[in-house]
Structure 1
Amino acid sequence: MLDMFAAGTDTSSAVIEWAMSEMLENPKVMNTAREEVRRVCGSKGYMNEESLEELKYLKAVIKETLRLHTPGPLLLPRECRESCEVKGYTIPAGTKVMVNAWAIGRDPDYWNDPDKFYPERFMNSQIDYKGSHHEFIPFGAGRRMCPGMSFGTNIIELCLAQLLYYFNWELPNGNKENLEMTEALGAFSRRKTDLVLVPISYNPLPISSNLKF
């Protein structure tokens, strides 16, 4: 249990960072996602499971982030149990195979304008990350796909929804042209530089009238 919960901390935080980076880079996306969150949450002041299900655009933002910035670009290594042939290539038994999910997510044969951050491509689309659509496999596919997929995506949705509900976000210098979007080299897809943003409070946390000071 500890392995499952702890293993997803780096990847989940990286996805949240990339989602915020892409929304800052694309203000229209940020505004649309923020308006949706505040409309759905309303005056409740919190998000619950039912509220998250209504955040269709935010889910599309997360999918698009996973497509462009796959948390584990090469997934986990696979090993062929028996010899097989794939598109004319013979793969002997025992061969270690690396699946380049990062490249699959940017393949122009499957994605229009693949390098563009465009969450709308997932609106009213059946494509999902649960392993049945092989052009989009940020969590892998089959019996060996990521066991923490549902837990991780729920955490990402909740964190982003809270960040968008309670704050407006700006860059320290207010100039998105200076926003560094380079990926660091490594097993996980992280930003090369830390993301530094300025939060502007929009809706402060509610204070219960029953509290005594």
Structure 2
Amino acid sequence: MYLRFGFKSTLVVSSAKLVEEIWLFHRIMTTGGKSGNFALYISSTECNSIDPSGKMNTIICRVGFGKRYDKGGIERSRYLGLLKESRAMLSSFSFSDYFPFASWVDRFTGLLNRLEKTFKELDSFYQELIDEHLDPNRLKPEEEDIIDVLLQLLEDCDFPFNLNIDHIKAILMNVFVAGTEATAATVIWVMSFLMKYPKCLKKTQAEVRDLIGKKGFVNEDDVQGLTYLKAVIKETFRLQPTAPLLVPRETLGKCNIGKNLETWENPEVFSPERFIGYFIDYKGLHYELIPFGAGRRICPGMRMGVATVELALANLLYNFDWEMAIGMNKEDLDFEAISGITAHKKNALTLKKNISD
């Protein structure tokens, strides 16, 4: 479906074959961890509403920046404030994006001033993190974080292109903004589907507990053996992608695109079994399922994000028995999403948790 928003042309594609044709045969361009303690964090909270975003923020801070905002590292209020404002700016409507001659409207509404202020605050935030890592007196942790790696590449004379500080800041922007949103939202959606379909919940939980036994926690190596859990996550990606609108792209030349109907069997039904023995993955090679995009500009945080989701869910299912909150049943669950770059569940998922024996 072809749409035109002001001076912007937009194409909505819903066919796997069509997506393959666009991304594989036509040149296009973009226009635009450590979760082992996750279950302990959940068990220590008194509120039964599942909101993993706080813990996801902690994981991203440790892996990306070498800090913990929840224990005196990065100021919690500053960190969350910048994250909230960044989300708002990325999902805001700008007249000048669609009507270049109408930039005065964005200035009049205050959007441009707000955008410039946010940019300066983020730039200062990233620069402080970089300066701390460049400090010769810094006490380096046992494991390098993302900034350490990027600064090493900055000094690497054999690196294929000239990396600079602005490039590093751009990468940190991806880590900062995209690193927590999609992972936290995915955990909520998966748990919502599992509560809606109790048989799937029992099957997933049994798989985790049978594999882990009395070990007490699930680590990265264990996750590789959780076939059904991985299928549950794929089915959630299919039914409720957390990033329904991918990054805008623009053709570099004229091209003709054909039509082709592609459907899933019983597409509205949550059925992880469809992925058992039927190898379709989300890594950009099978266009029926592309929650992270595809091609050269596939989401760079895909592996880290999925690993975090798998670990978080596996530990939640291993350590706790989950039930609907008192007075609720599975029919009361809704799947309404909030509009935005990341599709969060509109209404909180409130469950009753019991610590597993």
Give the structure-1-normalised TM-score.
0.82
Counterpart of 1:103 in structure 2 is none
Q: Does structure 2 retain, via aligned residues, the 8 Å contact 1:169–1:200? A: yes
Tell me the equivalent position of 2:348: 194
Q: Which residue of 1 aligns with 2:250?
A: 79
Counterpart of 2:50? none
Partner of 1:56: 227
> Secondary structure of 1:31's partner?
helix
Matches within 5 A, 1:1-213: 1=146, 2-6=172-176, 7-87=178-258, 109-172=262-325, 173-203=327-357
Please say which of residues 134-143 and 186-195 is displaced more in the overlay.
186-195
State the superposition RMSD in angstroms. Answer: 1.6
Distance in 1 between the 2:261 and 2:314 partners?
A: 31
Partner AA of 1:134 in structure 2: Y
Residues of 1 paired with 2:318 and 2:270: CA distance? 22
Larger radius of gyration: 2
More helix by share: 2
Q: Any idea what SS the aligned residue of 1:170 has?
A: strand
- 1:187 positional shift: 2.0
Q: 1:189: how far off?
A: 1.6
After superposition, the C-alpha distances for 1:132-179 in whole angstroms (9 at most, x for unaligned) are 111110100000010000000000000000000000111112411111
Q: Distance in 1 between matches of 2:187 and 2:198?
A: 16
Alignment-mate amino acid for residue 19 of structure 1: V
Q: Which 10-residue stretch deviates more, 165-174 or 15-24?
A: 165-174
> Hey, what's the Cα distance between the residues in 2 that align with 1:36 and 1:135?
27
Unaligned ranges ≥5, structure 1: 89-106, 204-213
Q: Could you report, residue by residue, the CA deviation over 1:43-86 in whole angstroms, capped at 9, with x for unpaired residues?
A: 11121222100000000000000111111101111111111111
Residue 86 of structure 1 aligns to a residue whose secondary structure is: coil
User: Distance between the aligned counterparts of 2:286 and 2:181, measured in 1?
Assistant: 25
| Post-superposition offset of 1:108 | 7.8
State the SS of the aligned residue for 1:70.
coil
CA contact under 8 A between 1:108 and 1:114: conserved in structure 2? no
Comparing 5-14 with 20-29, which one deviates more in the overlay? 5-14
- State, as a whole percentage, how many aligned pairs show the same letter: 44
* TM-score normalised by the chain length of structure 2: 0.50
Q: Which amino acid aligns with 2:330?
A: K
